[in-house]
Amino acid sequence: MEKKSAADSASRTLPERQELRSRVIESIATTMDLYGVNHSFGQLYGIMYFEDRPMTLEEMKNVMNMSKSNMSYAVRSLTESKMIYKLDEKKDRKDQYVAETDFFHTFRNFFGAKLQREVDVMLASIREVMPDLSAIILAQETNAEERDQALRDLHKLQHAEQYYIWLQGFVDRLEGGEIFGADR
């Protein structure tokens, strides 16, 4: 009887590369879902992440088995968040897309945009409201209870403003790459 080598028996127990990719693709989709990105959009990004070539909408549609309209929406969403990029060159007159494969860049692009939107919305609102709260506090016709509540609200908003100023600095460092160290 022929003796099998350890390498032969080990290779039969190893999962196939495509199965390993599938596990990571599903993890990418699950992770993106945690941050509010549609699960299937995360799967598409994961598939594109492992592609060694650009893909057309038609190719993505076929791989994902999605409708053309859903695929267009997925591609638009991933493009807006800079997780995939449309290439200048076309293939058979069709747009081609490629995934950003540097997770440092995807993190910076995705979270930088989300955090910047939060800072913009909240600071605008806080700064719009604070002068009116101050006016309520200073108005002679404001009763003591209302003045005390307005003062508490103003202090809360001043504290929140400091947080959003700090968060803006964080976003600036994130977008500048400083958060990742000198090599990023």
The per-residue pLDDT for 80 is: 92
Which of 101, 132, 149 is the last residue in one of the domains?
A: 101
Which of 58, 64, 69, 68 lies closest to 95 in space, CA to CA? 58
Look at residue 89 and give its three-state secondary structure: coil
- pLDDT tens string, the chain, 184 residues long: the values are 555 555 555 556 778 989 999 999 999 999 998 988 899 999 999 999 999 899 999 999 999 999 989 999 999 999 999 999 999 998 899 999 999 999 999 989 889 999 999 999 999 999 999 999 999 999 999 999 999 999 999 999 999 999 999 999 999 999 888 887 755 5
Q: Any residues with CB less than 8 A from the CB of 137 and at least 6 apart, and which?
A: 147, 150, 151, 154
Which of 101, 124, 140 is the last residue in one of the domains?
A: 101
Q: Are residues 124 and 73 in the same domain?
A: no
Q: Are residues 91 and 118 in the same domain?
A: no
Domain presence at residue 1? no
Domain presence at residue 121? yes
Which of 52, 82, 101 is the last residue in one of the domains?
A: 101
Contacts of residues 173-177 at CB distance under 8 Å and 24 or more positions apart, as own/partner, are: 174/108, 174/111, 174/112, 174/115, 175/108, 175/112, 177/104, 177/108
Q: Are residues 39 and 92 in the same domain?
A: yes
Look at residue 56 and give its three-state secondary structure: strand
Q: Are residues 18 and 96 in the same domain?
A: yes
Q: What is the pTM of this model?
A: 0.75
Domains in the chain, number = 2
> In terms of residue numbers, what domain contains 67?
6-101
